[in-house]
Amino acid sequence: MKLILRLLLNALAVIILSYVLPGVGVDSMITAIIVALVLSILNFLVKPILIILTLPITILTLGLFLLVINALIILIAAHFINGFEVSSIWWAIIFSLLLSFLQSILHSMLKEDK
């Protein structure tokens, strides 16, 4: 039950950011739920591989290259999901930063309710 609630909160964050950011578009709430699910799967499966492959450049940039990795994950999701569009890597980086921030706020509100 908690996993489904977290997924719905992530989808809500995706919808909110699609209204705020002009370079990001989501067609519907169902699409936002799919985006949240696909991003979770990609973060679980693909992101660790990308981190290992890019470890030298991540160390050289003191971890800032992780922003690029997060943006690439978002662009991969946008490529596979109809109805979810990100116009450039810069919008993907901004979306990634704001999504992380908004998710932390929403998930902290979830913890306070208990």
Where are the chain's structural domains? 2-112
* Residues facing residue 25 across a β-bridge: 85
pLDDT confidence of residue 20:
95
What are 85's strand-pairing partners? 25
CA distance 102 to 92: 15
Q: Does the pLDDT at position 114 exceed 60?
A: no
Q: What are the pLDDT digits (tens) for 12-71?
A: 999 999 999 999 999 999 999 999 999 999 999 999 999 999 999 999 999 999 999 999
Quick check: 11 pLDDT over 90?
yes
pTM for the model stands at 0.89
Given a cut of 80, is residue 113 above it in pLDDT? no
